[in-house]
Amino acid sequence: MNITAKVVNGVTKYYNGDVEITLAQAKTAVASEPTVVAETNKRSLESKANTALTSNTTYLALASPTTAQNTAQIKSLTRQNNALIRLLLKKLDTTSGT
């Protein structure tokens, strides 16, 4: 895919190769590029990691967590580990399971 923008007579026009496309089509095409998807997913996983620090600190401050809180924490930690593994291995095609 080769999306380009050209100014023609003061008007910006967008092309996919030699075919003129709309701005919306250009945005959709660029958003689906693997490098764009990977960067978006990377930012999402990093944001989730930041949130996880706060959640984990809150959990650790509980004097006597309930069984339900422990179960929820195990599920949360599993999602957090999946996110960290994806970041570490650069498997950023999805954020599924995080």
**Mean pLDDT over all residues of the chain?**
91
Using one digit for the tens of pLDDT, what is the confidence trace for 6-43? 888 888 888 888 888 888 888 887 777 888 888 889 99
Distant-in-sequence contacts of 56-65, Cβ < 8 A, 24+ apart = 56/80
Residues 10 and 43 in one domain: no
Number of domains in the chain: 2
For the chain, what percentages of helix, strand and coil (3-state, to nearest 5) are there?
Answer: 60, 15, 25
Residues 50 and 63 in one domain: yes
Residues 19 and 63 in one domain: no
| Residue 43 belongs to domain spanning | 34-98
| Between 77 and 36, the higher pLDDT residue | 77
Residues 89 and 41 in one domain: yes
Is the Cα torsion angle 55, 60, 64, 70 positive or negative in sign? positive
pLDDT at 3: 79
